[in-house]
């Protein structure tokens, strides 16, 4: 079956512009995660959606970052007034139910470059 997909695969934007990154999770997966990964670094947690529960936004680095998940499926991560330090690969992942033993399935990521 189809895996997690993300679009665009690459995005170059000018400092100060807004960007939207999209994630399509695996069908039927109720849990969805956003991470940021800078070059050579580990995964930085951003936000976590589980079913109809309020999202865990504890990892969002500033109020310029927001995310939504419509209809329990597709998610959009929005970065307003982008800064150069926002340049990174943004990874989306989904898991079946966000349960303790559920592994995460990752998308290919969106490489964001802010010039």
Partner 1 sequence: GQNIDQPTEMTATEGAIVQINCTYQTSGFNGLFWYQQHAGEAPTFLSYNVLDGLEEKGRFSSFLSRSKGYSYLLLKELQMKDSASYLCAVKYNTNAGKSTFGDGTTLTVKP
Residues that bind partner 1 (CB under 8 A): 31, 33, 35, 40-43, 45, 48, 50, 56, 91, 95, 98-109
- Shortest distance, CB of residue 97 to partner 1, whole angstroms? 8
Nearer to partner 1, 17 or 57 (CB): 57
- Shortest distance, CB of residue 106 to partner 1, whole angstroms? 4
**CA dist 48 to 13, 69, 73, Å?**
25, 10, 13
Distance CA 33, CA 50 (A): 9
Name which of 54, 53, 49, 76 is nearest 65 in CA terms.
Answer: 76
Nearer to partner 1, 74 or 80 (CB): 74
Nearer to partner 1, 15 or 113 (CB): 113
Name which of 21, 25, 34, 49 is nearest 111 in CA terms.
Answer: 21
């Amino acid at each position: 079956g189809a895996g997690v997909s993300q679009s665009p695969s690459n995005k170059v934007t000018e400092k100060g512009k807004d960007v939207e990154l999209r994630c399509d999770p695996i069908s039927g997966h109720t849990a969805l995660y956003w991470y940021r990964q800078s070059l050579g670094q580990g995964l930085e947690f951003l936000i976590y959606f589980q079913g109809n529960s309020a999202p865990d936004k504890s990892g969002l680095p500033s109020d310029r970052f927001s995310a939504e998940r419509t209809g329990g499926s597709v998610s959009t991560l929005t970065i307003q007034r982008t800064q150069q330090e926002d340049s990174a690969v943004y990874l989306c992942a989904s898991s079946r139910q966000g349960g303790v033993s559920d592994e995460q399935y990752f998308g290919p990521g969106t490489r964001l470059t802010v010039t």
